[in-house]
Amino acid sequence: MPPGACDCHVHVFGPPERYPLTHDRIYMPGLATVADLLAMHRALGIDRAVVVQASPQGTDNGCLLDALEAIGMAGREVRGVAVVGEDVSRAELEALRSGGVRGLRVNLESHGHSNAVEARRKLLVQARLAADLGLHLQMYTNLGMVKAVAPTLKELPVPVVIDHFALASPRLGQDQDGLRQLSQLLESGRVYLKVSAPYRILERFDAEEGRWLVRMLVDANPERLLWGTDWPHTGPWPGKARLRDRPEPFHPIDNGEQLNLLGRWTSEQERLQILVRNPARLFGFLEALE
């Protein structure tokens, strides 16, 4: 691993009696502690992390801020991505930024938001909040929504980060709806894309299955790609209802294998760009390499 490598998408979940979950959550996560996160990163040789507020945590960013403080005290460089309501105060935003937050997240996918008009409105509101303090915007959505809001993304006053490949499917080929618009957004430099959580789009850990997709994204703009594990791997289980009132099991994903996939898809110089230089620029880490 190159010095300064960053895992740009992880979550930390504390006990709900200390960090209450939102009432409209679609699932209840189990515990995912800072100690466990640090152990995973030590095993992979990862120096930096970005902790992302997950949908069950709503707009209460207390667990996020405590995690950022604890990770920093452990000697690791860390940043956060928070979720805020439209009525958030300037003082709260300033406190989030002081605590290490560098982005605001708009989660459209987890709650099944498919109304493009409402999605545009949400993006515009959150972008105004982000721009006021020099933050970026992060969105979790699918290719169809990326296509629908692409004109809006081009005009926002802040950088935009799209999670998890925008859920593009390697099995649907280069003509799948929305992939061309995603590639154009990358080429323009208006968005970053996380090639994170490949387990969400691959049927198996097979480098060949996703190779053409990753190479297409790298060719579009290697300076706008980020990587992340999506630890501790939330998500629905096929054929099972989501669990709201008791902890839903995490998926047993091998993060070493996820990292190996990136190694098979990219060159050494491309990995330096994706793992070190791009996150250093976006999140304000001190650059490790000239």
Mean pLDDT, to the nearest integer, of 257-283? 96
pLDDT of residue 290: 42
Q: Quick one: pLDDT band at residue 287, thresholds 50, 70, 90?
A: low
Mean pLDDT, to the nearest integer, of 16-31? 95
pTM for the structure as a whole: 0.95
Q: Quick one: pLDDT band at residue 114, thresholds 50, 70, 90?
A: confident
User: 3-state SS of the chain?
Assistant: CCCCCEEEEECCECCCCCCCCCCCCCCCECCECHHHHHHHHHHHCCCEEEEECCHHHCCCCHHHHHHHHHHHHCCCEEEEEECCCCCCCHHHHHHHHHCCEEEEEEECCCCCCCCHHHHHHHHHHHHHHHHHCCCEEEEECCHHHHHHHHHHHHHCCCCEEECHHHHCCHHHCCCCCCHHHHHHHHHHCCEEEECCCHHHCCCCCCHHHHHHHHHHHHHHCHHHEECCCCECCCCCCCCCCCCCCCCECCCCCCHHHHHHHHHHHCCHHHHHHHHHHHHHHHHCCCCCCC
